[in-house]
Chain A
Amino acid sequence: MLNIKDLHVSIEGKKILNGLNLSINKGEVHALMGPNGSGKSTLSYFLSGKDGYEMERGSIDYNGKNLLDLEVDERANEGLFLAFQYPMEIPGVQTSFFLKTAINSKRKHHGLPEIDALEFAKLIKSQAQELDISPDMLRRDLNVNYSGGEKKKQEILQMSLLNPAMSILDETDSGLDIDALRIVSEGVNKLRNKDNSFLVITHYQRLLNYIKPDYVHIIADGKIVKSGDFSLALELEEKGYEEISKTA
């Protein structure tokens, strides 16, 4: 699915990712954990294709394609999805309209006709209900005056509607209370199947109690310093980042 080799990325001449290797297969859930400033968001932005990053070395293969050959919207339409740590507010654009436009962009990319209005209404209603998002919120402007938790739920709603092959969740758990965390995790777990993959970025082990990863990686200073299974997350919780990075 996603194969990152020896990735070196800098921002404005400042080196952020330092020889990062990560390989994610179909059907796998990987967790990426690391202290603030270790490069987690940089990795997710770079994968999604955001401007302003310079790749000095490395390669990224996505489903047999060179990811870097694809524009941001092409990556998305080819099934790459990033749930943002800080979702953007878009005043003047109604949430449900945005969702419909996104769905139709993907359908167009795959040569499908636009989604039927009734079908969309049903789809969005059921998905929103599962995430405890009120119909009223769907009528409001996208992410405007949403609480932190509502913004994160909105990201997960977008993810469920677009049904991506490769989802990256950048600290989706931060700022969520325990109820919201449970709802969001259930949303992710429902999507999991043998054909799609997840990279769950988090600071805390807490989220991983809900979304059980197959692999856990620890990132420090822009590279992965240790990989393991779920027990690594527990070990991290016990010892802290510094200790773990030292023993790496």
Chain B
Amino acid sequence: MIKDNILNDTSMENLSIHAKEILLEKNPFKNFKIENYRYAQLHKNIESQSDTVKSPLHKDLTKLTTDISHNTFANIDLKPTIDKWGFSNSDSFFRVSSLVHRTSISINLDNFKETSLFLNISNISKNITIQKKDPQLKTLVLLNYNCDDETPKSLIFNVAENANLEVVHYDVSNKKSFLYFEVKQSNYSNFNFASFQSNNTHIRNEFFSSLAEKCNFELSGLNFNNFGVNDNYSFIQHVKPSSSSREVFKSIVNNGAITNFQGKIYVDSIAQKTDGYQMSRSLLLDNISKANNKPELEIYADDVKCSHGSTVSKIDQEQIFYFNSRGISKEVANLLLQKAFIIETLDIIQTKDIKDFSIKLLDNLLT
């Protein structure tokens, strides 16, 4: 009953602390050590949400393809294949390996003449393998929204030697969603991954990456969590010498939402001259939201440069005062500071149209 109220009252204005606490009760990780996020029992999470709670990104995403010129963009058409196999009924934690039985779709991005490609993965339940062999940069936009079910999805990226690939992922599921990404990079390849998430339910994204020699991998994450639970897990393995990885994860949490981030950089003993960087920052907009950030390093080589950092903070009232003293209202100052907090996550997007679109999307999200 109370939960229904919460879900229907998207403005949250009149929500009592008590009601929010009930929501917090739903934190699936309450009784787990942070180390165990991976093995969280997903079925214990918030019950499937009503469709009325939609992320503000929805309407933007549905317009997406009409907004951008069609010469350089193409849609990759995959028929939705829904097999009603979700993790809501499963009794124990979900293992990615159980996805394997499903048939796999393979997409070779070099077969498309366009430089940017859209792939709607919302209702695809097959494994998807993406190939990129050519050095010419391509941008793949992944859309995950309006899902009809909660089937976990897996995407595997094979980035060949010297290949360049950029992925921009918009995740605005209004149902529970679980995405598993695996990146296999061969020597001298470059891969950028930007993931923008806005959810009111429970979404979880896992990023596994394995880097060969002289590769670059950049991962930018942003989640704007206004209500449910959001998990991000990343595991970046440097298995050959002289590759670099850079990861920046930002989250803005509000209305009693919970965000969890756990990220590990692993450096094999032969992976000398590795350059690894990881930063996770969370911005709490109220007193009842929560952020758990856990950065980890596991290093077996002795000649490497690796650093990580993590912060959880609130909007700086001194900064708000500075804006106010220049005539800018509290409301506007708040929005601008939120935008300032997340803007860095857009830096890695190289395709201008996609970057501009992302900025617009985030603007709409914050207002």
Contact = CB atoms under 8 A, between A and B. Distances in A.
B328 A73 contact: yes
A13 interface: no
B326 A48 contact: no
Contact of B327 (A87, A88, A109): A109
A6 B339 CA distance: 43
6 contacts: A49-B324, A84-B322, A88-B318, A88-B321, A92-B340, A102-B328
Contact of A90 (B322, B324, B332, B344): B322
Interface string B287-328: 000000000000000000000000000000111011111111
Q: Which of B329, B339, B341, B343 has the most CB of A within 10 A?
A: B329
B321 A50 contact: yes
B336 interface: yes
Contacts, number: 65
B341 A90 contact: no
A222 B25 CA distance: 52
Interface residues of B, number: 21
A48 B332 CA distance: 19
A93 interface: yes
A138 interface: no
B326 A102 contact: yes
Given A73-B329, A105-B329, 4 more contacts: A49-B325, A51-B317, A77-B327, A162-B327
A77 to B, nearest CB: 4
Interface string A95-126: 00010011001100100000000000000000
A82 interface: yes
A72 B327 CA distance: 7
Contacts of A88: 318-319, 321-322
Contacts of A84: 322, 325
B343 A92 contact: yes
Interface of A: 48-51, 71-73, 76-77, 81-82, 84, 87-88, 90-93, 98, 101-102, 105-106, 109, 158, 162
B217 to A, nearest CB: 24
A58 B330 CA distance: 27
A72 B339 contact: no
Contacts of B337: 90, 92-93
A240 B336 CA distance: 46
Nearest to B339: A92
Q: Which of B326, B327, B328 has the most CB of A within 10 A?
A: B327
Main secondary structure of the interface of B (DSSP, over half): helix
A106 B336 CA distance: 17
Contacts of B343: 92
Nearest to B324: A72
B327 A48 contact: no
B325 A48 contact: yes
B322 A101 contact: no
A106 B322 contact: no
Contacts of A51: 317, 321
Contacts of B322: 84, 87-88, 90
A92 B344 contact: yes
Given A82-B325, A88-B318, A88-B322, A73 B330 contact: yes
A88 B344 CA distance: 20
Contact of A76 (B318, B324, B336): B324
Given A88-B318, A90-B322, A106 B339 contact: no
A72 B321 contact: yes
Contacts of B332: 101, 105
A102 B336 CA distance: 12
Contacts of A92: 337, 339-341, 343-344
Interface in B7-55: none
B321 to A, nearest CB: 6
Q: Which of A48, A73, A106 has the most CB of B within 10 A?
A: A73
A73 B329 CA distance: 6
B106 to A, nearest CB: 40
A112 to B, nearest CB: 13
Contacts of A87: 322
A84 B328 CA distance: 16
A109 B322 CA distance: 18
A84 B341 CA distance: 24
Contacts of A82: 325
A168 to B, nearest CB: 10
Nearest to B330: A73
Q: Which of B326, B343, B344 has the most CB of A within 10 A?
A: B326
B339 A76 contact: no
Contacts of A76: 324-327
A44 to B, nearest CB: 10
Contacts of A50: 321, 325
B339 A105 contact: no
A8 B87 CA distance: 65
A71 B331 CA distance: 13
A48 B328 CA distance: 13
